[in-house]
């Protein structure tokens, strides 16, 4: 059972472990967007954006709905944003630690 849970966690982290997918999540943290808005904001081809969205959706991180011809995406579980915030805080702390190392000389 522990192995299965570890694998599920690894799959979750693999799904978000790409700069474009992190940027997608950061765009969606304030609310839903259509794929056309997402790829414009990212300045990435729509096909490429759609592939990244599909990975996040397959992992059940995003959900989508159709509105006419448009596909609207949103974050299914807001807790994913907490993971990104934790990463931001960790990176900030690492940067502070690095700076303090240079300042002690």
Q: What are the residue ranges spanned by the domains of the chain?
A: 2-77
Percentage above 90 pLDDT, the chain:
88
Confidence of residue 30 (pLDDT cuts 50, 70, 90): very high
Confidence of residue 16 (pLDDT cuts 50, 70, 90): very high
pLDDT of residue 97: 85
Confidence of residue 52 (pLDDT cuts 50, 70, 90): very high
Confidence of residue 86 (pLDDT cuts 50, 70, 90): very high
Please give the C-alpha separations between residue 9 and each of 47, 62, 66, in angstroms, as whole numbers.
27, 16, 29
Please say if the pLDDT value at position 105 is more than 60: no
| Domain 2-77: CATH class, spelled out | mainly alpha
Please say if the pLDDT value at position 99 is more than 90: no
How buried is residue 61: exposed, middle or buried, by Cβ count under 10 Å (0-12/13-18/19+)? Answer: buried
């Amino acid at each position: 059972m522990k192995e299965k849970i570890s694998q599920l966690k690894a799959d979750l982290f693999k799904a978000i472990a790409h700069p474009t997918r992190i940027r997608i999540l950061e765009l969606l943290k304030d609310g839903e967007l259509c794929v056309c808005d997402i790829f414009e904001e990212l300045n990435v081809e729509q096909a490429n954006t759609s592939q990244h969205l599909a990975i996040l959706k397959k992992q059940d991180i995003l959900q989508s709905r159709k509105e006419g011809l448009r596909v609207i995406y949103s974050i299914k579980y807001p807790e994913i944003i907490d993971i990104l915030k934790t990463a931001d805080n960790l990176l900030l702390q690492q940067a502070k630690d690095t700076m303090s190392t240079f300042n002690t000389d």
